[in-house]
A and B are shown apart, each in its own frame.
Chain A
């Protein structure tokens, strides 16, 4: 009995029990669909996060306070620290320094109210982060010195408060109840799910320190963004920044109370997080595949018992152990392969649906179905069918012909 024959026979017998075959296949369909969809969505999220991080720019460094937890007397980052980083002798690789503070704030105007991200910055922030304005001007040195109550709005905030994204310069908004004059409007960068850069307001750092974001240490800043001369100069700049801050904070090497991060660090962290997430989701999906496999085994065992007489007859007519084995393995692997193919289609549909929902809710996730995940799902489902078919098939093949023929 050749293999082609076995598969024809297997197909016939599966077709004879259509509902049962369909229900058995369902377990594998769901399992494979879950694997495909989870991997696709995970990969889509990963590329979105990666894209967001890559948008930061390759020559930026982020200095934040906090580092080695063993430091006995950690000092926060201050404005004076950021001034020190401007020293072109101690830090020749640094061409821009932008200290900033972050928080959230409720902004109101004309009876409308919105909750948004608040960034308190110095004039350098504008060019370090490549901010562009549709109208008005960015925060200037004069605003910093005077602690002016001025604000640059993100387009989403302007839309929310005024219902328009032009002609808002000169209007007054209230941030945490205090009046601020609008001096500029940012160009829209498009919403990207995790950090919507259009939904923020930017105020002078000194103003925020005095009125909005009170910190325990005077002149404290949350983060210092440093622009290196080029992306090749990033490691050198990192060394220089560390040296300056260590000297200022009087900490020894290896006991830093600050951390310098660059784009690659963020990418590595994001990759680690999404990697774990993908493995976790894949694991959940694999469990459902396993359950599907047990379903196949269950049905195959029932099928073997039901067809005991048929097996006896086939043996009486000259079927060897191997022939019976192949017949049942062909059935179980066909079930799982069919489930695999349907699962890939269903998984693709689910991914597309997730992509559509994400697009509708402004979260920019495009699920990506890789050839590798399709291949993985197909091979895995085949393997599940073979593995869980092995025991029932062996049981069928080992039946004694005399006993099997006598079975009622």
Chain B
């Protein structure tokens, strides 16, 4: 019955009863305690929560960087909870676009080469340079293709990262504090860009943040507390 519901709602993410237990020495840390979450295609939403709430663990799990200890996780209809490392890498490459607080660009590579990187690992026979150039043009960096990260401003670097996240047409974008390292003006630009991507191109965006101002600008806010979705 639930399957028919998910078909109707066109879910990008459907997580049921996720748990995650870390063993630190003798102590077991329960980072996720039976968390369930559904995210529809075309949604822009934010995940909030104090530190230690399990927010980062949820982000890593949804981003397929880590596997849950138990529970089910369907990404774009694929069950990823049981996948091996290489399958997870493949899913990350095709389905997830990451944006990080610290941009995480390769210092020595040009903007173009940075955006090409996911295409290289996709190993498809295609004109990578052309695709990467279009992605950079779509974030307004068509004039800065061959600049290295240290020749770009913080806002521009984050736009390169957005182009990199978009380049493989992922199922959703996972943005971890995307404005955390930017001044308020650049941060505002980046937020506008993410909102525009969602509105104009229908890209599903998940923003993980602790800034209520940022969260307020998204359609939906999910707060995590003690490894579970907090009731409103």
Contact = CB atoms under 8 A, between A and B. Distances in A.
Interface in B90-104: 90, 92-94, 98, 100, 104
A1 B123 CA distance: 6
Nearest to B60: A402
A1 B120 contact: yes
Contact of A318 (B66, B104, B106, B118): B118
B123 A317 contact: no
B78 to A, nearest CB: 15
A395 interface: no
Interface in A273-319: 309-310, 313-319
Interface in A236-289: none
A276 B98 CA distance: 62
A318 B86 contact: no
B94 A318 contact: yes
A320 B123 CA distance: 11
Contacts of A310: 106
Interface string A377-408: 00000000000000000000000111001000
B37 interface: no
B85 A320 contact: yes
Contact of B65 (A309, A314, A401): A401
A129 interface: no
B182 to A, nearest CB: 19
A309 B121 contact: no
Contacts of A2: 123
B85 A5 contact: no
A317 B93 contact: yes
Contacts of A13: 108
Contacts of A322: 86
Interface in A8-48: 12-13, 16
B117 interface: yes
Given A1-B123, A2-B123, A12-B108, A317 B63 contact: no
Nearest to A322: B86
Given A16-B108, A310-B106, A313-B104, A318 B65 contact: no
Main secondary structure of the interface of A (DSSP, over half): helix
* Consensus secondary structure, chain B interface: helix
A323 interface: yes
B225 interface: no
B89 interface: yes
Contact of A317 (B85, B86, B108, B164): B164
A2 B89 CA distance: 16
Given A1-B120, A1-B121, A402-B65, A319 B89 contact: yes
B21 interface: no
B83 interface: no
B122 interface: yes
Contact of B122 (A5, A316, A318): A318
Contact of A323 (B100, B106, B109, B121): B121
Interface in A314-363: 314-323
B198 to A, nearest CB: 21
Q: How many residues of B sit at the interface, in one of the four size bands?
A: 20 to 34
B85 A321 contact: yes
A317 B65 contact: no
Contacts, number: 61
B118 A317 contact: yes
B92 A402 contact: no
B108 A315 contact: no
A310 B63 CA distance: 17
Given A1-B120, A401-B65, A402-B65, A316 B98 contact: yes
B36 to A, nearest CB: 22
Given A1-B121, A310-B106, A402-B60, A320 B65 contact: no
Nearest to A318: B93
B108 A318 contact: no
Nearest to B61: A402
Nearest to B90: A318
Interface string B96-137: 001010001010110000000110111100000000000000
B33 to A, nearest CB: 19
A401 to B, nearest CB: 5
Interface string B170-206: 0000000000000000000000000000000000000
Given A1-B121, A2-B123, A402-B60, A316 B65 contact: yes
Contacts of B121: 1, 314, 317-320, 323
Nearest to A406: B56
Contacts of A316: 63, 65, 92, 98, 104
A313 B108 CA distance: 14
Nearest to B176: A405
Contacts of A323: 121
Interface string B202-225: 000000000000000000000000
A2, A5, A405 interface centre (most CB from chain B within 10 Å):
A405
Contacts of B66: 400-402
B86 A320 contact: yes
16 contacts: A1-B123, A13-B108, A313-B100, A316-B104, A318-B89, A318-B121, A319-B89, A320-B85, A320-B86, A320-B90, A320-B121, A400-B66, A402-B60, A402-B65, A402-B66, A405-B104
Interface of B: 60, 63, 65-66, 85-86, 89-90, 92-94, 98, 100, 104, 106, 108-109, 117-118, 120-123, 164, 168
Given A316-B65, A318-B89, A320-B86, 13 more contacts: A1-B120, A2-B123, A12-B108, A313-B100, A313-B106, A317-B92, A317-B118, A318-B122, A319-B121, A321-B89, A402-B66, A405-B65, A405-B104
Interface of A: 1-2, 5, 12-13, 16, 309-310, 313-323, 400-402, 405
- Sorted nearest first, the 3 A-B pairs with minimum C-beta distance are A318-B93, A318-B121, A320-B89
